[in-house]
Amino acid sequence: MKSKMVKNALGRKVPVEVNGETVIPFKGVGKHRPRGKQHAPRISTAIDYPNDGNKCVDSLATALKKASISNNMTISTHHHLRNGDYVANQVFEFASKLGIKNLTWLPSASFPCHEPIIEQLKDGTINHIEGSMNGPLGKFTSEGKMKGIGVLRSHGGRYQAIQDGEVKIDIAVLAAPTADPFGNAHGLDGPSSCGGLGYALPDYKFADKVIVVTDNLVDFPAMPMHIEGNYVDYVVEVDKIGDHNKIVSGTTRITRSPDRLLIAEYTARFCKEAGIIRDGFSFQMGAGGISLAVADFFHKIMKDERVKARFAIGGTTQYAVRMLEEGYLEYLLDAQTFDLEAVDSMRRNRNHRNISIFHAYDYHSKGFFNQMIDVLTLGATEVDVNFNGNVNTHSDGYLLHGIGGWQNCLFAKCTILPIPLFRNRIPIIKDEVTTVTGPGKLIDVIVTERGIAINPRRQDLLDKVKDSDLPIRDIHELKEEAEKICGKPAKPQLEDNVVAIIKWVDGTVIDAVGQVKLE
């Protein structure tokens, strides 16, 4: 059933109905005002739970049955074990065995390790995914093979959607590196320790039933409470919840490419010249080879200038930990732990603090941490001459990446995209991006190996660096230079129908992703 399509405030054609639900087209940044009340969970009573607080059941299958898994439910998981997660696949394999149909999977992110879930997408166990569709799942979706329409949300948008009742979780299945029989859990200890579990917050707070799955069951109390047992229905002990070595991916090391190192250096120099790197400033530390290189340059500048940052929000890695330990950073606020050095730091260091995605990113709260960040770097698959950014699709139209925190991060005081001018001889700067993940209004600076383009809306930044020797250039010039080298890229060949939508941080639809035409 095809939905009517309308043009949203960015001129992008989007459906008004998705998977049988009415959706609201994007109205512009800060234009959509939510109405009504948050999702209200059912009132529980201790009468229904064991007097001795022991909620252990013998297997994940038992827990799912006790939670009354059935057709049409929404099942959520978190992604703190990243590409090493063993739990999500088991849930849907079991659901398939039971003959359950038409589930919605609501992961906080998916990874290549979740490729087996394609089987349950094919056999009808899962209708569609709301979350990220990375790699194999994205390709499957792009080719029009998923039954329902995919819904992509930013990390903060996922919290917003659950909080606002846009999506209701029937069962949350939460992997926990350490847990007690009451359901308190954290990610700091145990054979699968992976750091904070802040993405699980909306799941356990708002889900009807909550299952904690652990491979390190300890006596009450498991502390700190990254997951609060008062919200938990069942606890399951299993052999292994995942392989925590795989929380480290290729994107958690500094780039070695000379071009990319140059981009990182320009970015750091830009921040220095613009007066952003000063005592008490704040920055975001993401993963990604260039971002990490930028942070490393920041570190050097801070050492040289004897400047100390007040806080960084991460995505934390060994690089951020080093800054914290050397005293160049007072607080490291961690919503996602990207390597085992960072896991260890969070365990040891009081100023390395676990925060949730609610704190960092929820647009439907009374402000959020990310707004207070002075400078932040992000990747992109494409940008356009209006500074709109795309992180979801490639220029061939394939949906291969989730949004992550990308949209939420755009609300920092200065947002920089350090990106190469082209990748595999395909220019990155376009007349129009294949998919708008975030509006140009919020993207301040694009740094390439051949020059820096500043958004004309940011006259203040243009003024600050006008006397520097940085290669400040017009974005159109950069685009043309890339096209001279690589040629003008072909437009993606797409079918008429929508396979996924991209939600904005306020729950409105900023863009739709079309099915790719197969040869």
Binder among 1, 11, 51, 250 for its own copies (CB under 8 A): 51
Binder among 6, 17, 28, 50 for its own copies (CB under 8 A): 50
**Candidate ranges 127-135, 220-228, 294-302, 487-495; the one touching its own copies (CB under 8 A):** 220-228
Which residues, numbered 170-199, are part of the site for its own copies (CB under 8 A)?
182-183
The answer for residues whose C-beta is within 8 angstroms of residue 311's C-beta and 6 or more apart is: 282, 329, 330, 331, 332, 333
Structure letter (DSSP) for residue 353? E
Examine residue 256 and tell whether it contacts its own copies (CB under 8 A): no
Residue 484: count other Cβ atoms within 10 Å of its Cβ: 10
Interface mask toward its own copies for 480-519; x: CB under 8 A:
--------------------------x-------------
Tokens 């129009």 correspond to: 432
Examine residue 278 and tell whether it contacts its own copies (CB under 8 A): no
- Cα Rg, the chain, nearest whole Å: 23
What is the rounded distance in angstroms from the CA atom of residue 192 to the CA atom of residue 355? 20
Minimum CB distance to its own copies smaller for 52 or for 467 = 52
Which residues, numbered 81-100, are part of the site for its own copies (CB under 8 A)?
none
Q: Which two tokens stand for residue 336?
A: 């996602």
Examine residue 459 and tell whether it contacts its own copies (CB under 8 A): no
Q: Across the strands, what pairs with 309?
A: 329
Minimum CB distance to its own copies smaller for 259 or for 330 = 330
Examine residue 22 and tell whether it contacts its own copies (CB under 8 A): no
Examine residue 49 and tell whether it contacts its own copies (CB under 8 A): yes
Interface mask toward its own copies for 413-442; x: CB under 8 A:
x-----------------------------
The answer for residues whose C-beta is within 8 angstroms of residue 62's C-beta and 6 or more apart is: 234, 236
**Candidate ranges 58-66, 124-132, 217-225, 431-439; the one touching its own copies (CB under 8 A):** 217-225
Long-range contacts of 492-499 (CB under 8 A, 24+ apart): 492/393, 492/395, 492/396, 492/397, 492/434, 492/516, 493/397, 493/517, 494/397, 495/144, 497/2, 497/144, 498/3, 498/5, 498/15, 498/18, 498/149, 499/141, 499/142, 499/144, 499/146, 499/149, 499/150, 499/399
- State the nearest-atom distance from the C-beta of 401 to its own copies, in Å: 25
The two beta strands, 103-107 and 126-129, are parallel
Is residue 225 within 8 Å of residue 174, measured between CB atoms? Answer: no
Which residues, numbered 361-400, are part of the site for its own copies (CB under 8 A)?
362-369, 371-372
Is residue 481 within 8 Å of residue 491, measured between CB atoms? Answer: no
Interface mask toward its own copies for 291-330; x: CB under 8 A:
-------------------xx-------------------
Q: Which residues bind its own copies (CB under 8 A)?
A: 30, 33-53, 55, 163-164, 182-183, 210, 219-221, 223-225, 228-233, 280, 310-311, 331, 333, 350-351, 353, 355, 358-359, 362-369, 371-372, 411, 413, 506
